Protein backbone atom coordinates (compact mmCIF):
# COMPACT_ATOMS: atom_id res chain seq x y z
CA UNK A 1 0.00 0.00 0.00
CA UNK A 2 1.42 3.39 -0.95
CA UNK A 3 2.30 5.92 1.70
CA UNK A 4 0.88 9.38 1.65
CA UNK A 5 3.33 12.22 1.19
CA UNK A 6 3.31 13.00 4.91
CA UNK A 7 5.02 9.69 5.77
CA UNK A 8 6.89 8.72 2.60
CA UNK A 9 10.14 10.34 3.70
CA UNK A 10 10.11 8.52 7.05
CA UNK A 11 9.68 5.15 5.36
CA UNK A 12 12.86 5.77 3.35
CA UNK A 13 14.79 6.72 6.51
CA UNK A 14 13.64 3.49 8.15
CA UNK A 15 14.59 1.34 5.17
CA UNK A 16 18.14 2.74 5.28
CA UNK A 17 18.47 2.44 9.08
CA UNK A 18 20.98 0.06 10.66
CA UNK A 19 20.56 -0.09 14.40
CA UNK A 20 18.57 -1.57 17.28
CA UNK A 21 17.87 1.57 19.34
CA UNK A 22 14.36 2.80 18.50
CA UNK A 23 14.89 5.88 20.67
CA UNK A 24 17.76 7.03 18.46
CA UNK A 25 15.78 6.29 15.28
CA UNK A 26 12.75 8.14 16.65
CA UNK A 27 14.91 11.20 17.38
CA UNK A 28 16.31 11.04 13.86
CA UNK A 29 12.81 10.88 12.39
CA UNK A 30 11.42 13.68 14.57
CA UNK A 31 14.42 15.93 13.84
CA UNK A 32 13.87 15.72 10.09
CA UNK A 33 12.78 19.06 8.65
CA UNK A 34 9.79 17.33 7.04
CA UNK A 35 8.44 16.20 10.41
CA UNK A 36 5.82 18.55 11.80
CA UNK A 37 5.82 19.44 15.49
CA UNK A 38 2.40 17.84 16.11
CA UNK A 39 0.02 15.59 14.29
CA UNK A 40 -0.80 12.11 13.11
CA UNK A 41 2.58 11.51 11.46
CA UNK A 42 3.67 10.55 15.00
CA UNK A 43 1.10 7.74 14.90
CA UNK A 44 3.38 6.15 12.30
CA UNK A 45 6.82 7.26 13.52
CA UNK A 46 6.66 5.56 16.92
CA UNK A 47 5.69 2.17 15.52
CA UNK A 48 8.08 2.58 12.59
CA UNK A 49 11.02 3.09 14.96
CA UNK A 50 10.07 0.01 16.99
CA UNK A 51 9.35 -2.13 13.93
CA UNK A 52 12.50 -1.08 12.07
CA UNK A 53 14.84 -1.68 14.99
CA UNK A 54 13.20 -5.04 15.78
CA UNK A 55 13.40 -6.23 12.19
CA UNK A 56 16.99 -7.62 12.20
CA UNK A 57 16.08 -10.27 14.82
CA UNK A 58 12.51 -10.72 13.73
CA UNK A 59 12.33 -10.76 9.95
CA UNK A 60 12.66 -14.53 9.61
CA UNK A 61 9.57 -15.02 11.82
CA UNK A 62 7.46 -12.33 10.17
CA UNK A 63 4.50 -12.93 7.90
CA UNK A 64 5.75 -9.96 5.86
CA UNK A 65 8.47 -10.68 3.35
CA UNK A 66 10.53 -7.61 4.02
CA UNK A 67 10.72 -4.47 6.12
CA UNK A 68 9.16 -2.36 3.35
CA UNK A 69 6.03 -4.54 3.38
CA UNK A 70 5.83 -4.47 7.17
CA UNK A 71 6.17 -0.67 7.17
CA UNK A 72 3.48 -0.42 4.51
CA UNK A 73 1.14 -2.45 6.71
CA UNK A 74 1.98 -0.27 9.70
CA UNK A 75 1.29 2.82 7.59
CA UNK A 76 -2.10 1.51 6.51
CA UNK A 77 -3.02 0.92 10.14
CA UNK A 78 -1.60 4.24 11.37
CA UNK A 79 -3.66 6.19 8.85
CA UNK A 80 -6.79 4.91 10.64
CA UNK A 81 -5.85 6.85 13.80
CA UNK A 82 -6.84 10.49 13.30
CA UNK A 83 -5.12 13.53 14.68
CA UNK A 84 -6.33 14.49 18.16
CA UNK A 85 -7.27 10.87 18.97
CA UNK A 86 -5.81 11.55 22.41
CA UNK A 87 -8.57 14.07 23.10
CA UNK A 88 -11.35 12.64 20.95
CA UNK A 89 -10.89 8.92 21.65
CA UNK A 90 -8.96 9.01 24.91
CA UNK A 91 -6.18 6.99 23.28
CA UNK A 92 -2.88 8.61 22.34
CA UNK A 93 -1.78 7.73 18.81
CA UNK A 94 1.76 7.09 20.07
CA UNK A 95 0.48 4.28 22.29
CA UNK A 96 -1.67 2.96 19.45
CA UNK A 97 1.40 2.98 17.24
CA UNK A 98 3.25 0.76 19.72
CA UNK A 99 0.32 -1.65 19.62
CA UNK A 100 0.22 -1.63 15.84
CA UNK A 101 3.93 -2.40 15.54
CA UNK A 102 3.65 -5.15 18.15
CA UNK A 103 0.68 -6.65 16.28
CA UNK A 104 2.47 -6.52 12.91
CA UNK A 105 5.52 -8.30 14.34
CA UNK A 106 3.51 -10.83 16.34
CA UNK A 107 1.23 -11.61 13.41
CA UNK A 108 -1.82 -10.80 15.52
CA UNK A 109 -5.24 -11.35 14.02
CA UNK A 110 -8.74 -10.77 15.47
CA UNK A 111 -9.24 -14.44 16.42
CA UNK A 112 -5.62 -15.33 17.23
CA UNK A 113 -5.09 -15.62 20.98
CA UNK A 114 -1.27 -15.59 20.96
CA UNK A 115 0.09 -12.08 21.38
CA UNK A 116 -3.31 -10.49 21.88
CA UNK A 117 -3.17 -10.06 25.66
CA UNK A 118 0.46 -8.96 25.62
CA UNK A 119 -0.23 -6.25 23.05
CA UNK A 120 -3.22 -4.97 25.03
CA UNK A 121 -1.25 -4.91 28.30
CA UNK A 122 1.64 -3.10 26.63
CA UNK A 123 -0.63 -0.38 25.22
CA UNK A 124 -2.26 0.02 28.64
CA UNK A 125 1.18 0.46 30.23
CA UNK A 126 2.23 2.97 27.56
CA UNK A 127 -1.02 4.93 27.97
CA UNK A 128 -0.56 5.02 31.74
CA UNK A 129 2.91 6.48 31.39
CA UNK A 130 1.74 9.07 28.86
CA UNK A 131 -1.17 10.03 31.12
CA UNK A 132 1.22 10.44 34.05
CA UNK A 133 3.13 13.08 32.05
CA UNK A 134 0.26 15.38 32.94
CA UNK A 135 -0.46 17.51 29.91
CA UNK A 136 -2.00 17.15 26.47
CA UNK A 137 -0.70 18.28 23.10
CA UNK A 138 2.88 17.17 22.98
CA UNK A 139 3.36 14.52 20.33
CA UNK A 140 7.15 14.59 20.72
CA UNK A 141 7.06 13.93 24.47
CA UNK A 142 4.41 11.24 24.15
CA UNK A 143 6.30 9.57 21.29
CA UNK A 144 9.45 9.41 23.42
CA UNK A 145 7.58 8.05 26.43
CA UNK A 146 5.85 5.46 24.24
CA UNK A 147 9.08 4.09 22.78
CA UNK A 148 10.79 3.91 26.17
CA UNK A 149 7.80 2.12 27.70
CA UNK A 150 7.37 -0.30 24.78
CA UNK A 151 10.96 -1.53 24.49
CA UNK A 152 10.81 -3.92 27.49
CA UNK A 153 7.55 -5.39 26.17
CA UNK A 154 9.01 -5.94 22.69
CA UNK A 155 12.09 -7.56 24.20
CA UNK A 156 10.22 -9.80 26.64
CA UNK A 157 7.38 -10.94 24.40
CA UNK A 158 8.91 -10.75 20.92
CA UNK A 159 12.62 -11.24 21.69
CA UNK A 160 13.22 -8.09 19.64
CA UNK A 161 16.75 -7.36 20.90
CA UNK A 162 16.08 -3.63 21.28
CA UNK A 163 18.31 -1.31 23.30
CA UNK A 164 17.93 2.23 24.57
CA UNK A 165 21.15 4.17 25.00
CA UNK A 166 19.70 6.35 27.74
CA UNK A 167 21.40 9.51 26.52
CA UNK A 168 19.55 12.65 27.61
CA UNK A 169 17.29 14.15 24.96
CA UNK A 170 16.69 17.88 24.63
CA UNK A 171 13.49 18.61 22.74
CA UNK A 172 13.95 20.96 19.81
CA UNK A 173 10.19 21.53 19.44
CA UNK A 174 9.57 23.02 22.90
CA UNK A 175 9.40 26.56 21.55
CA UNK A 176 6.76 25.54 18.99
CA UNK A 177 4.40 24.21 21.67
CA UNK A 178 2.34 26.80 23.54
CA UNK A 179 1.22 24.01 25.89
CA UNK A 180 4.80 22.89 26.70
CA UNK A 181 5.28 21.93 30.34
CA UNK A 182 8.66 23.66 30.35
CA UNK A 183 10.83 22.40 33.16
CA UNK A 184 8.07 19.94 34.08
CA UNK A 185 8.90 17.92 30.98
CA UNK A 186 11.87 15.52 31.15
CA UNK A 187 12.82 16.47 27.58
CA UNK A 188 12.72 20.24 27.98
CA UNK A 189 16.04 21.80 26.95
pLDDT, tens only, 82-123: 888 888 898 999 999 999 999 999 887 777 777 788 999 999
The lowest-confidence range among 2-11, 47-56, 109-118, 142-151 is 2-11
The lowest-confidence range among 61-65, 70-74, 104-108, 139-143 is 61-65
The count of residues in the chain is 189
Whether 87 maps to a domain, the answer reads: yes
pTM above 0.85, yes or no: yes
Which letter, b or e, does each residue of 165-187 get, where b requires 16 or more Cβ atoms within 10 Å of its Cβ?
Answer: eeeebebebbeebeebbeeebeb
Check pLDDT > 70 for residue 2: no
Whether 140 maps to a domain, the answer reads: yes
Whether 189 maps to a domain, the answer reads: no
Whether 177 maps to a domain, the answer reads: yes
Whether 164 maps to a domain, the answer reads: yes
* Residue 68 domain boundaries: 5-184
Whether 144 maps to a domain, the answer reads: yes
The lowest-confidence range among 28-32, 76-80, 126-130, 181-185 is 181-185
- Look at residue 6 in the predicted model and tell me its pLDDT: 67
- Look at residue 35 in the predicted model and tell me its pLDDT: 86
Whether 32 maps to a domain, the answer reads: yes
Distance between CA atoms of residues 100 and 186, nearest Å:
26
Whether 126 maps to a domain, the answer reads: yes
Give the percent of the chain with pLDDT over 70: 95
Average pLDDT, stretch 33-52?
Answer: 91
Which letter, b or e, does each residue of 12-30 get, where b requires 16 or more Cβ atoms within 10 Å of its Cβ?
Answer: ebbeebeebbbbbbbbbbb
Among 44-53, 61-70, 106-115, the range of highest mean pLDDT: 44-53
Closest CA to 106 of 164, 51, 152, 53: 51
Structural domain total, the chain: 1
Average pLDDT, stretch 77-84?
Answer: 90
Average pLDDT, stretch 41-46?
Answer: 94
pLDDT, tens only, 161-185: 999 987 778 878 877 777 878 788 7
Amino acid sequence: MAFNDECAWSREVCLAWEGVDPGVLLERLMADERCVAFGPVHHFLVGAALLTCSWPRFHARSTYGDLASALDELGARARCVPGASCAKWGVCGAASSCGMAFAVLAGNAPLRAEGWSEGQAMVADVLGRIAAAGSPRCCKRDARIAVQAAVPWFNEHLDAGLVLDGAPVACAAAGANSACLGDGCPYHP
